[in-house]
Structure 1
Amino acid sequence: MVQTPEADIAVVGAGIVGVACALQLARQGRRVLLVDRQAPGQGASWGNAGHLATEQVFPIADLSILKRLPRMLLDPMGPLRLDWKYLPKALPWFTRLLLNLRPAPFQRSVAGIRTLNEGSLGAWQRLLGSIGRSELFQEDGSLLVFEKPESRQALEALRTRMQQQAVPVDFWSAETVREAAPQLSPSLLGGLFFPRTGHFIDPYRVVCELFEAAKASGVRFVQAQVDGGQLHSAGVSLASDQGTLNARQVLVSCGAHSAKLTAALTGKRVPLDTERGYHLMLPGEHQRLPFAVTSLERKFIMTPMAEGLRLAGTVEFAGLEAPPSMQRAWQLHRLSKGLFRHDLSIDGATPWMGFRPSLPDSLPVIDRVCDGRVLLAFGHQHLGLTQAAVTAEWVGRLAERAAGPAVGAYRLDRF
């Protein structure tokens, strides 16, 4: 006998995407049950780079990576690492990734990422303004710097590609960089400044503030591990370690853990893998940078936050079960040497690792399937924080049986 649904919609996943969606749905009059095995914001949302990366409109890889791949993979501390024990499981995902580097699918991915990113800044301004926490986001731009004369050509090519995609970008001379960020090394040769970007001063607090607003709007939270589920005439039943949870609809938004539940509910196997990312938090560095700065050659980002300076980056493919390689987090400090007039302090520094949920075409799944009983919002790769607020707005429209802008690019049945 099917029990009466205890919620209109169960949102599985209390990261930044899930919490933002739960708040949106509650404001639309839904009885929302938010479910996660951890407290809200404890996954990738806790330790992301904090950068609103609206300028990153290109997929996570392009054809140029093929030349660099062997050298990158042989460097255990390089920006990309593949655990060879994980290769057999990852091979199908990488095969799909390579197929998506062909011109037509690559351009579809660019168009899809750009559409989401173009709506992200305004969506975040609306969302944070609606809860009275606009100060958590600083719209102060971001800077990509370069050090080597031979990098100038690559930087100019990137600038041209960005301009072709209508991304606001300015070339900054070395003098302009020194004026804007005087603590950076005088050896830097310049960079690209992206004025329509910014950073969050505390990504975890953003999740917490949205969660408090969601609770005030009637969202109920249950800390439980969801292991599966099934659909029926009254909606959906989720099997969890806290018993069966019943709702009329379910939203799967549990990041890198979304594939198993999606398969159980829809019968569709999604090629979702995880890019393990690392950060190193430096609590003694509060005044080094006025905005987020990325190194073109060193391939990592430094973001000023309320609790210090966060160094973040690297991509590691090793799955969800392998223990973290925290030396990759400490490597970020070594990468920072030479970028400043004086080296950064690691006093009290803390390392971290989290899972970025990535699909081989670099686009998320944002969809409504199974006669509307299942909604999906996961797979945002490096752009989960950037795209969370606009994703929530789209999910709100999908829940009301309306299609979001260009929503076809993010459908489940593309796989």
Structure 2
Amino acid sequence: MRGSANVQGNSRSTKEGRRRALRAPSPHERGEGEDVVIVGGGIIGINAAAFLSEAGRNVTVFDRTGICEETSSGNAAAFAFSDVLPLAHKGMIRQLPKWLADPLGPLAIPPAYLPKLLPWLIRFWRAGAAKHFEASLAAQAGMMKLAEAEWMGLLDRSGTRPMLREDGSLELYESEAEFRASLAGWALRERFGIGFSHVEGEEMTALQPGLSPRFVKGTFVPGWKTVADPKLLGKAVWAHAEKLGARFEHARIDRVEAGPDGATIMLSDGTTRKAKQIVIAAGAWSHLLARNLGDRIPLETERGYNTTLPVSAFDVKRQLIFSRHGFVITPLETGLRVGGAVELGGIERPPNFARSKAMLEKAKRFLPGLDPAGGREWMGFRPSLPDSLPVIGRARAPNVFYAFGHGHLGLTQAAATGRLIRDLVLGQTLPLDLNPFRPQRF
């Protein structure tokens, strides 16, 4: 067995050596330093790499795990372009006491974490003030419009359009009161040309057979889109960037420094790399790197949970949204994903998979006949800012750019962010006013 393993290892080494011999050496290997370094191999970093590579820049992505292996791998797979209402304005603060009374409800805060979280919650409460509403709504709507256009273009250029699903979504209500409470939000979406129709009875059943009779009405959004599998899409977009010359290195970045002549990253193994420009897109860990550059950004972590069941678990026709319960059910190419909810608990606490199990129990009640067997549980870290808008822009230090804090909209807004980062790095005219997203707004 040992001999066999050694032969296999030698074979792999030989293949790797041939592969390296066939490709051009990197700037680092030539002793020139890097051109553009992207810290983070999630969906935001991948898109930034794709856009910059298409523009002819030499890009190296660093990540401690791999390409699209962490939070970007397990999301709900939605292109939520119609989700223009900022989270801070959705009445969450009013519902906070009720939700906190249920440790397995739509939002949870571990009691021991509350003192650390309190400054962020105060900022979140302030961001939800009426005086900020129109500006936040306009910023989010503008970002969504750009995101849809840039994603459709990138899907075509990368050959990944077949991974797009355009089945719409169905949001479900258990009472007339819940339905009426949703109408103000739909009226706001209508202002931005987002199409929808309210359904009930046979029309709702036709959109999703097998629903529990507890649901009295629904809202169908025909323009809502999902993807076959977010992890597979991310890796396919990366393959597109890689064909254009982008490179990946498996390493953890502990520190970033910058000056007028370029920037430096310090790897966890003690080595350093020079780069002309750096993009920090490290998700929930980004603010730690920003802090040593002089930018204190109040990022928190929405810990999201899900269970992915076998494809055969239930014939779900399109993404089903249960807003009152804070989760969705998405049919993927690779399974049926039941997930969502928010746990504001930072990045150090171990997962509480009782939350996944609670959503699965509700899913069984909502879809009688759902087979809950054979599921894979998962938890990921959504990087969130108190005003529900990401940080996209220049750091205080020269030659460093930020692209993080998208909350639960990372997949949705990734292509827009990639386009904006490309234009910032190249010094081109921006398609969107970045003032609402500037890193120094806090």
Paired position in structure 2 for 1:381: 407
What is the deviation of 1:286? 6.0
Q: Which residue of 2 aligns with 1:159?
A: 186
- How many angstroms does 1:91 deviate by? 0.9
- SS of the residue corresponding to residue 19 of structure 1 reads helix
Number of positions where the alignment pairs a residue of Structure 1 with one of Structure 2: 411
Moved more, 271-280 or 67-76: 67-76
* Equivalent in the alignment of 2:289: 261
Distance 2:31 2:85 in 1: 45
Is residue 2:387 matched to residue 1:361? yes
Superposition TM-score, scaled by structure 1 size: 0.95
Contact residue 50 and residue 202 of structure 1 kept, 8 A: yes
- Counterpart amino acid of residue 17 in structure 1: I
Give RMSD over aligned pairs. Answer: 1.7
Q: TM-score, normalised by structure 2?
A: 0.89
Match of 2:365 among 335, 338, 360: 338
Indicate the SS of the match to 1:397: helix
In the TM superposition, residue 368 of structure 1 has moved relative to its aligned partner by 2.4
Superimposed CA distance per residue, residues 175-220 of structure 1 (whole angstroms, 9 cap, x where no aligned partner)? 2111122232344222111122110111000111111111111111
Aligned partner (choices 301, 305, 317) of residue 344 of structure 2: 317
The separation in 2 between residues aligned to 1:106 and 1:28, in whole angstroms, is 36
* Contact 1:286/1:306, CA 8 A, preserved across alignment: no
CA change 1:143–1:165 in 2 (3 A) is same
Alpha carbons 1:252, 1:258 under 8 Å: kept: yes
Tell me how far apart the structure 2 counterparts of residues 354 and 117 of structure 1 sit (CA, whole Å): 23
- The yes-or-no answer on 1:84 pairing with 2:111 is yes
- Partner SS, residue 88 of structure 2: coil
Displacement of 1:49 in angstroms is 0.6
> How far apart, CA to CA, are the structure 1 residues paired with 2:211 and 2:312?
13
For the Cα contact (< 8 Å) 1:303–1:309, is it kept in 2?
yes
> Which of the numbers 87, 93, 99 marks the counterpart of 1:66?
93
Q: CA deviation at 1:155?
A: 2.8
- Whether the aligned pair in 1 keeps the contact of 2:120 and 2:386 (CA below 8 Å) is yes
Instruction: Determine helix, strand or coil for the equivalent of 2:199.
Output: strand
CA shift for structure 1 position 5: 5.0
Distance in 2 of aligned mates of 1:395 and 1:111: 20
Deviation at residue 118 of structure 1 after TM alignment: 1.5
Counterpart contact for 2:264–2:275, Cα < 8 Å = yes
Counterpart residue number, 2:5:
none
| Higher Cα Rg, which structure | 2
| 1:240 maps onto 2:267 in alignment | yes
What residue in structure 2 maps to residue 143 of structure 1?
Answer: 170
Query: What's the counterpart of residue 318 of structure 2?
Result: 291
Specify the code of the residue in structure 2 equivalent to 1:388. A
Q: Relative to structure 2, which stretch is displaced further, 61-70 or 108-117?
A: 61-70
- 1:413 maps to 440
- Report matched runs for 1:16-415 at 5 Å: 16-62=43-89, 64-242=91-269, 243-265=271-293, 267-285=294-312, 288-340=315-367, 342-370=368-396, 373-402=399-428, 403-415=430-442
Q: 1:345 to 1:253 in 2, by over 3 A?
A: same
Q: Deviation at 1:371?
A: 7.0
Cα deviations across residues 333-368 of structure 1 (Å, max 9, x unaligned)? 11113322x331122101100000000010001102
List runs of 5+ in structure 1 lacking aligned partners.
none
Q: Deviations over 1:9-42 (max 9, x none)?
A: 1000000010111111111111111001111111
Question: CA distance change for structure 1 residues 251 and 5 in 2, over 3 Å: closer, same or farther?
Answer: farther
Aligned partners of 2:357, 2:369: CA distance in 1, in Å?
A: 14
Deviation at 1:141, TM superposition (A): 1.2
Cα offset, 1:381, TM superposition: 0.7
Cα deviation 1:97-135 (Å, max 9, x = unaligned): 111111222322221111111122222111111111111
Gapped regions of structure 2 (runs ≥ 5)? 1-29
**Once the two structures are superposed, what CA deviation does each residue of 1:356-385 show, in whole Å capped at 9, x if it has no partner?**
000001000110245750111100011000
Q: CA deviation at 1:296?
A: 3.4
Deviation at 1:63, TM superposition (A): 6.7
